[in-house]
Amino acid sequence: MTTTPVIDATGVTVDLGGTPVLRGVDLRVLPGEFVTILGANGSGKSTLVRALVGLIPHRGSIELFGTPLAQFGDRRRIGYMAQRPDMFSGVPATVTEVVLSGALSRRPRFGWPTRSDRAAAAELIDRVGLSRLAKRPITHLSGGQQQRAHIARALVANPDLVVMDEPMAGIDAHSAEVFARLLGELEERGTAIVMVAHELGPLAPLVDRAVHLEGGLVEYEGPAHGPGTHDHAHDHAHSSEPATTRPVPAEGPLGGQS
Amino acid sequence: MSILSHAFMQYALIAAIITGLSAPAVGTFVVQRRLALLGDGLGHVALTGVALGLLTNVAPLTTALIVAVAGAVLLEVLRSVGRTSGDLALAMLFYGGIAGGVLLTNLAGENAATLNRFLFGSIITMSRTDLAIVVVLGLVVVAATIALRPQLFALCQDEAQARVMGIPVRLYGILIAVLAAVTVTVAMRTVGLLLVSALMVVPVAASQQLTRSFRSTHLAAMGIGLFSAVSGLLVSYQIDTQPGPTIVMIAIAVFVVSSVTNGVLHMRTRQEAPHG
């Protein structure tokens, strides 16, 4: 039985302002997999996820759920959380309004949120522990609370793939725990997760596979067992597929991710 | 009310109601997109449209509408595909619009007094046809901003997120600019092209002093715009001033009052916080 990959990207190349940022990256993500993209600043991590969700033009092939990205229309299946979601706005917006706007992937052209959208938003706001702040303007929240609201927005349409760009950056320990619990629940439900990270923290045990970028190329790819166990990662010959056969060095990409 | 026994005042009142509602209705999205000066830029471009009408003997309202809408589309395209930043594109509109307007007015053999009618409004010289156009266009603006509020909100709040969600970002970006251009022409006879932006921005600024949600800001801004436009018109009639500047000064007064109220409420909350 063959499973259609959630993401099947081959030879993804991106130039930004004439500078090559990604140079032929392959990435395959299966349903229910939790893949983390690691690498130094400027290695192309954010560019890769932005290309995967169609935010920047690329060369090479990207298929989502078996459909080429350009033709992919079922946007409800993707939840995206940018590195620094736009938090400043000229006009106030409550946590509920921001989270509820995520449900628009079900009706992106026209239509108001339905009762079930509102119920889903209220439930997610509760799951990220923001019920008490639901009617507050989002700009009144702390950085960690805002990130929790933004993950709730990414999840409110019940996506099958969640793409997150450094969601853990600069958040407090409590928010990190809330994230870990939420992503654990998603994984159990079979949602695929692709997450750019500098530090995995409490998420480390959840991650199935790590992809390490360097200079716009996949430097290492392999299983990730979390801090302290990365040296058990299997060494394999470099190959374009399946993704889990790429080598992970003894001092792998998770080294220092505790 | 005796002043409403005059047909011109009835027309003026209807135009003021439509302008007061429509300018903040689209202005809320313009402010949220951080393009508060968009209305100013489009007002200047519309001046070229007015002059074109004077030159060709076509109704200035029609030519202003066409030129302002074209300018809005051009601005949005420059902003989204070109390397021109929003403020530079706006600067081009400002200078090109005002220069073109004055130049064409000169060529049409008209003088500054004619332009003055459009720059600061001349609500009492409105024809029945003008009024019908203003009412239809104004209602279209209000209806569009309410019907598409969720999508336009998502776009203005976080454009990248909106794009991933499949919201037609380019199309709706152009739509906001076009609705702003339509509003400029709707408001042209009421507050004038130089002050139209004030009615798009000031009621929103006043409203957000007192509101917490986007929805309530949008609705309250329309309420403040309506109040400013109608009371401004009535006051201007009583004290014999031009309606446009009177309307804008009332809107600014509402902003000052709401800012002070907001400040007092904040101070009270802070004082009560240790006990709560």
Mean pLDDT score, A201-214: 90
Q: Does B34 touch chain A (CB under 8 A)?
A: yes
pLDDT of amino acid B83: 58
Cβ contact A59:A48 at 8 Å: no
Lowest mean pLDDT among A81-90, B16-25, B113-122, B144-153: A81-90
Mean pLDDT (chain A) is 85
Give the count of beta carbons closer than 10 Å to the beta carbon of residue B8. 12
Q: Are B66 and B117 in contact (CB under 8 A)?
A: no
CB of A97 less than 8 A from some CB of B = yes
Picking from B71-85, B110-124, B244-258, which range would have the lowest pLDDT averaged per residue? B71-85
Q: What is the mean pLDDT of residues B67-81?
A: 87
Greatest CA separation found in chain B? 71
CB of B28 closer than 8 Å to CB of B206: no
For residues B203 and B254, the answer to whether their CB atoms sit within 8 Å is: yes
With 90 as the cut, is the pLDDT of residue A108 above it?
yes
Instruction: With a cut of 80, say whether residue A216 has pLDDT above it.
Output: yes
Decide if A55 and B211 are in contact by the 8 Å CB cutoff: no
- Give the residue-averaged pLDDT of B247-273: 90
Instruction: Tell me the pLDDT band of A36, cut-offs 50, 70 and 90.
Output: very high
Is residue A87 scored above 90 in pLDDT?
A: no
Q: How many CB atoms lie within 10 A of CB A39?
A: 24
CB pairs < 8 Å spanning A and B: 102
Mean pLDDT of B154-179: 94
Residue B20 above 90 pLDDT?
A: yes
Q: At B272, is the pLDDT very low, low, confident or very high (cuts 50, 70, 90)?
A: confident
Q: Identify all chain A residues contacting B204, using CB atoms and an 8 Å cutoff.
A: 90-91
Put simply, the answer to whether B215 touches A104 (Cβ < 8 Å) is no
- Cα B15 to chain centroid distance, Å, stands at 13
pLDDT band of residue A248 (cuts 50, 70, 90) is very low
Enumerate the residues of chain B whose CB falls inside 8 A of the CB of residue A97: 153, 213-215
- If one compares B213 and B115, the residue with the highest pLDDT of the two is B213
Widest pairwise Cα distance in chain A: 54
Q: pLDDT over 90 for what percent of chain B? A: 68
Q: What pLDDT, on the 0 to 100 scale, is given for residue B86?
A: 66
What mean pLDDT comes out for the span A246-255? 40
CA-based nearest distance B186→chain A, Å = 24
Q: Find, in chain B, the residue whose alpha carbon is nearest to that of A163.
A: B164
Q: Kindly state which CATH superfamily the domain B2-272 is placed in.
A: ABC transporter involved in vitamin B12 uptake, BtuC (1.10.3470.10)
Which residue from B minimizes the CA distance to A94?
Answer: B213
pLDDT (average), residues B37-44: 89
- Confidence class for position A243, pLDDT limits 50, 70, 90: very low
Helices (H), A18-137: 45-52, 95-101, 115-127
Contact status of B241 with chain A (Cβ, < 8 Å): no
Q: Which of B33, B159, B166 sits opposite A108 (nearest CB)?
A: B166
pLDDT bucket at A6, cuts 50 / 70 / 90: very high
Distance CA B217, CA B28 (A): 8
Q: For A34, phi and psi rounded to 5 degrees?
A: -115, 105
On the question of pLDDT at A25 being above 90, the answer is yes
Structure tokens of B55?
């030159």
Going along chain A from its start, the domains and CATH numbers come out as 7-87+159-245 (3.40.50.300)
Q: Is the pLDDT of residue B106 over 80?
A: yes
Return the closest-CA partner of residue B21 out of B193, B187, B210, B260. Answer: B187
Q: Are B187 and A98 in contact (CB under 8 A)?
A: no
B126-142 residue pLDDT tens: 889 989 999 999 999 99
Could you tell me the pLDDT band of residue A253, with boundaries at 50, 70 and 90?
A: very low
Higher pLDDT pick, A86 / B28: B28
Note the Cα B12 to chain centre separation in Å.
17
pLDDT for residue B242 is more than 50: yes
Residue A121 DSSP SS3: helix
DSSP 3-state percent helix, strand, coil across chain B (nearest 5): 85, 0, 15
Is the complex ipTM higher than 0.95? Answer: no
Band of the pLDDT at A254, cuts 50, 70, 90? very low
Are B167 and A97 an interchain contact pair (Cβ–Cβ within 8 Å)? no
Out of A105-109, A136-140, B80-84, B107-111, pick the least confident. B80-84
pLDDT of residue A137: 93
pLDDT per residue as tens digits for the range A169-198? 878 888 888 889 999 999 999 999 999 998
- On whether the CB atoms of residues A188 and A167 are closer than 8 A, the answer is no
Contact: B212, A135; criterion CB under 8 Å: yes
Q: Report the chain A residue with the minimal C-alpha distance to residue B34.
A: A90
pLDDT at B84: 61
* Residue of A83, A91, A105, A107 for testing the chain B interface, max B β-carbons within 10 Å: A91
CB contact under 8 A, B150 and A101: yes
Cis omega before residue A167 (within 30°)? Answer: no
Range picked from A236-245, B86-95, B111-120 for highest mean pLDDT: B111-120
Question: Does residue A3 or residue A234 have the better pLDDT?
Answer: A3
